[in-house]
Amino acid sequence: MAVQYLNINTGFDAPLLPITGPSGGPLIGSNGSPISYQAAGSRWFVSPTLGLGVAEYFSKFVRLELNGSGFAFPRSWTLWDTDGSINLRFGHFELGGGVRAFHFKTSTNGPFYIRGTMIVPQVSLRWYSK
């Protein structure tokens, strides 16, 4: 069990939408200023997460590790992260390589919501004292 804090800042622009009218002049909004399609937003939340990890030792020098955690409230926010790696041990050092993934979704009940999934490769180097 863990607690995670997530802060998301985002921006949006639609440069392909028209900003000029049929006469060639700029489109003017109801407040008298030129129309802009730029928007920005920010959301944050704190989430408890429940997780599970598994390690399989194929030999004294080769280990497979899989970890995952997450939590969700229906019609609200979702958060999960996972990683998997193969680790090779050489004396006091361990070299690992694998994949890590992270997903979030803010509440759909708000004025806007943000969601995203990121998947990246990972490389690790560990040192053991014994």
Residue 60 domain-assigned (yes or no):
yes
Amino acid at 107: S
List, in order, residues 6 or more apart from 33 with CB less than 8 Å away. none
- pLDDT for 16: 67
Query: Is residue 43's pLDDT more than 90?
Result: no
Examine residue 21 and state whether it is found in any structural domain, yes or no: no
Per the structure, the complete domain to which residue 123 belongs is given by 2-8+42-127
Does 90 reside within a domain?
yes
Decide if 28 is inside a domain: no
The answer to whether 3 touches 49, Cβ cutoff 8 Å, is yes
Residue 22 inside a domain? The answer is: no
- Residue 86 belongs to some domain of the structure: yes
pLDDT of residue 5 exceeding 80, the answer is: yes
Is residue 81 scored above 90 in pLDDT? yes
Q: Give the three-class secondary structure for 76.
A: coil
Whole-number Å distance between alpha carbons of 4 and 98: 22
Residue 119 located in a structural domain: yes
Residue 67, pLDDT above cutoff 90: yes
Tally of domains in the chain: 1
**pTM of the entire predicted model:** 0.73
